[in-house]
Structures are given as C-alpha cells and as structure tokens.
Homo-oligomer: A and B are copies of this chain.
Amino acid sequence: MNTKKNTLQSIMDIGLQLVQERGYNGFSYADIAEAVGIRKASIHYHFPSKQDLVQAVLLQYRKDFMDRLQAVKEQDLDSQGKLTGFFGLYRETLEDNAKLCLCSMMAAELHSFPEEIRAELNLFFRANESWVEDVLAQGQEEGAFNFSISTGEQAKILVAFVQGAQLMTRSLGDIHYFDTLVSSCMSSLK
C-alpha cells in the first residue's frame, strides 16, 4: 500500500490540478500548502519559484500525455478507434472535475510565462498533431477516412478542434456537448 507519495510529487500533483482547474494566476502557494498538508515555505524548498513548479509540472504532463497517446496507439484498434481514443483523453480531462488540458490553460495565460516555457507548450501541440497525422495516414490506407486535404493539414485542424471543443464544453458545463461535437467530427471524416 503506497498511499503516501513523497512530498515533491504531491506538490506537483496538486499544482497540476490547480492550474488545470483555475489557471496559473488563479491559485497560490497557500492553496498548495493546504491541499498537501505542509507549510508554504516547504514548497519553496522543492520549487524555489512558482515558475519552477509550473515548468516541472508541464514537463511531467507532456511526458505523461505522450505515454497515454502511445498506449492508445498500441491498443488493438482500427484507426477510427484510435482517433476516438485521442478524443477520449481530452474527454477524461473534462470529466475529471472539469479540468482543462494543462497546455490550453497555459496557452491562454501565455503572457505570464517566459520563452522557455512557451517553447515547451508548442512541443506538446506539435506532438499531438504528429500523433493524429500518423493515425489519419493509417486510416486513409485502410480506407477508413475520407477527407480532401492532406493528413498533416487535417491533423492540425483536429487538434485545434479538440482544444476548442474542450474549452467550450467546460464553459457550457455539459459533457454531452463534447460527445456530440466529437461524434459529428468523426462522421465528417468518413
């Protein structure tokens, strides 16, 4: 039973959660301290500044998300199933207390971050596009998809779409909206 994580990881977990729910400028070290059950000063030991924390969280989030994408790719699914799995990852985020993709949130608050962090964000978006393009290419070979533009263009469109769909669904507060959007989108690719 490993119910007690180490403090550093707990801080990062709560930090991730808070950014996804409230945004970087919407919480403080006091919020993390309370949630983790330590004092504010202890957080500074692990992450001297708030930006150090968010940068570490971003790095881990991207790695974790890439792992999940890889897991979908390795499942025994046809290309349509894999694309549905992709949208499913964004759906899970919404279902989890109406969180937003960390990178969407941070892109909205871009003003608050230095170039170093901005570059990390774009790696995330590009990795998404690349993953989707692979699936689209596979699906086209199988005759599962039918669209008139290149796989690269279509992939970029789908990533932009899912980011916007997540944002609007969260605003509406009804996961059904996301499901309808994704379902329609999948239909439009046939």
Contacts and interface: CB of A to CB of B under 8 A. Distances in A.
A163 B107 CA distance: 12
Contact of A111 (B26, B104, B161, B165): B26
A104 B160 contact: no
A167 interface: yes
Interface in A152-190: 153-154, 156-157, 159-165, 167-168, 170-173, 180-181, 184-185, 187-188, 190
Interface residues of A, number: 48
Give the interface SS of chain A, mostly helix, strand, loop or mixed: helix
A186 to B, nearest CB: 10
Contacts of A107: 167-168, 170-171
Contacts of A112: 22-23, 26
Contacts of A109: 22-23, 26, 108
A133 interface: no
A43 interface: no
Given A25-B23, A173-B118, A125 B157 contact: no
Contacts of A157: 161, 181, 184-185, 188
* 3 closest residue pairs by CB, A with B: A164-B164, A163-B164, A160-B164
